[in-house]
């Protein structure tokens, strides 16, 4: 039914307007006790086998909502209701900002992809912190893990970026189950320059110190989100830095500015739009970056796989490649409200059919199997 509705209605609407409309319906349903109970039972059945622990946090499963969908923390209960095991809000900036001029969101239906150049449109960290504080003081409809993704305010010069991130950290860390430093969006000028290790080290160190100072007695897990467009040696450098600084996780990956080599079927009137590409065409590179990170850090740091995840097979592949958590966004647009249910059911089936007793046993199994094969080949050669 959703596919028919998408073809007849949503496909002919401006993507940003359709997003606000659908998100509004989800939020409305989550405010009505009888409605939200029914919807959650239908869309978010729990599978005990999928219970997951990451950065010391327990979750119903590994599948969460990536940042960008709920920028202002207005629909956390709604997104938990439709089946996401964790919800990452943002990206939030220190100052409120309208984002880039419209039109700034484009559907590439033939590719099951999106291009966005939203530009961190959000109400600012003070407003979002107040909303999260009110939610924490009340009785949330659903208890779920809430990540807070922070970025640089556009008008702030690159030289003042650290102070800008620290401001958001001081306001938001106390309300976050985990905190993400976003240095990888292509839609804020100069932001991706902060991925260079010489720029990233002082930024992450300052955010870590600010979080510890702001929330004494609780270590807020800190992650960094990187771009798929980093060169392999830069991926390695970020991985090494994360280990050096004791980060809790790396999210791989954000959207891509690449177009060539992705096999896009959409016409140039869409593919030529500037902004970050997400969805199915990103799958291969995001998986490649994840594999490279796991080869570098192993189990020392929690890895979150995102980018091109559409099916349970995609999510399972990320787990075997080293991801403890997986996230989606674009797939939700094309698959509809039963998407999380299908992902969870498929993951539970794949785990049951695997040799692994738990999801934790499956994390990185691909790399371990490759290592064992390599050791076996080495032994064979030595014996020969």
C-alpha 363/C-alpha 101 separation (Å) is: 41
**Is 247 within 8 Å of 224 (Cβ atoms)?**
yes
Q: Which helix (H) or strand (E) holds 303?
A: strand 302-306
List 150's β-bridge partners, or say none: 92, 181
Selecting among 185, 266, 278, 340, the annotated active-site residue is 185
**Is 128 within 8 Å of 89 (Cβ atoms)?**
yes
Please tell me what DSSP assigns to residue 97.
Answer: B
Q: What b/e sequence results for 235-274 when a residue is b if at least 16 CB atoms lie within 10 Å of its CB, and e otherwise?
A: bbbbbebbeeeebbbbbbbbbbbbeeebebebeeebbebe
Q: Which residues are annotated as a binding site?
A: 67-71, 91, 116-120, 149, 182, 187, 225, 253-255, 279, 308, 329-330
Q: What b/e sequence results for 35-72 when a residue is b if at least 16 CB atoms lie within 10 Å of its CB, and e otherwise?
A: ebeebbeebbeeeeebbbebbebebbbbbbbbbbbbbb
258's tokens? 């690449």
Active site residue 185: yes
C-alpha 177/C-alpha 80 separation (Å) is: 15
Where in the sequence numbering do the catalytic residues fall?
185
């Amino acid at each position: 039914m959703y596919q028919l509705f998408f073809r007849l209605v949503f496909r002919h609407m401006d993507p940003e307007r359709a997003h606000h409309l659908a998100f509004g319906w989800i939020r409305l349903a989550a405010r009505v006790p009888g409605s939200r109970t029914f919807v959650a039972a239908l869309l978010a059945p729990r599978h005990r086998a999928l219970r997951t622990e990451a950065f010391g946090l327990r979750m119903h499963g590994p599948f969460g909502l990536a940042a960008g969908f709920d920028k202002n923390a207005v629909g956390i209960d709604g997104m938990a209701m439709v089946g996401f095991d964790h919800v990452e809000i943002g990206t939030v900036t220190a100052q409120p900002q309208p984002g880039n001029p419209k039109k700034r969101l484009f559907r590439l239906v033939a590719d099951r992809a999106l291009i966005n150049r939203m530009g961190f449109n959000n109400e600012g960290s003070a407003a979002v912190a107040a909303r999260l504080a009110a939610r924490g003081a009340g009785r949330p409809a659903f208890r779920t893990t809430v990540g807070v993704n922070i970025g640089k305010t556009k008008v702030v010069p690159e030289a003042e970026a650290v102070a800008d991130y620290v401001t958001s950290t001081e306001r938001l860390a106390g309300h976050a189950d985990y905190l993400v430093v976003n240095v990888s969006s292509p839609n804020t000028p100069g932001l991706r320059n902060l991925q260079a290790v010489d720029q990233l080290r002082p930024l992450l160190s300052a955010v870590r110190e600010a979080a510890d100072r702001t929330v004494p007695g609780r270590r807020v897990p800190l992650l960094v989100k990187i771009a798929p467009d980093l060169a392999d040696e830069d991926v390695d450098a970020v991985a090494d830095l994360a280990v050096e600084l004791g980060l809790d996780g790396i999210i791989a990956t954000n959207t891509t500015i690449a177009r060539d080599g992705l096999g896009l079927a959409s016409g140039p009137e869409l593919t030529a739009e500037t902004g970050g590409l997400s969805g199915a065409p990103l799958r291969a590179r995001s998986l490649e970056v994840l594999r490279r990170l796991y080869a570098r850090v192993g189990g020392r740091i929690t890895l979150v796989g995102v980018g091109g995840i559409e099916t349970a097979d995609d999510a399972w592949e990320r787990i075997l490649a080293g991801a403890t958590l997986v996230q989606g966004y674009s797939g939700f647009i094309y698959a509809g409200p039963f998407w999380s249910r299908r992902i969870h059911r498929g993951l539970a089936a794949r785990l049951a059919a695997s040799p692994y007793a738990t999801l934790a046993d499956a994390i990185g199994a691909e790399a371990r199997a490759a290592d064992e094969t390599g050791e076996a080949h080495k032994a064979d050669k030595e014996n020969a």
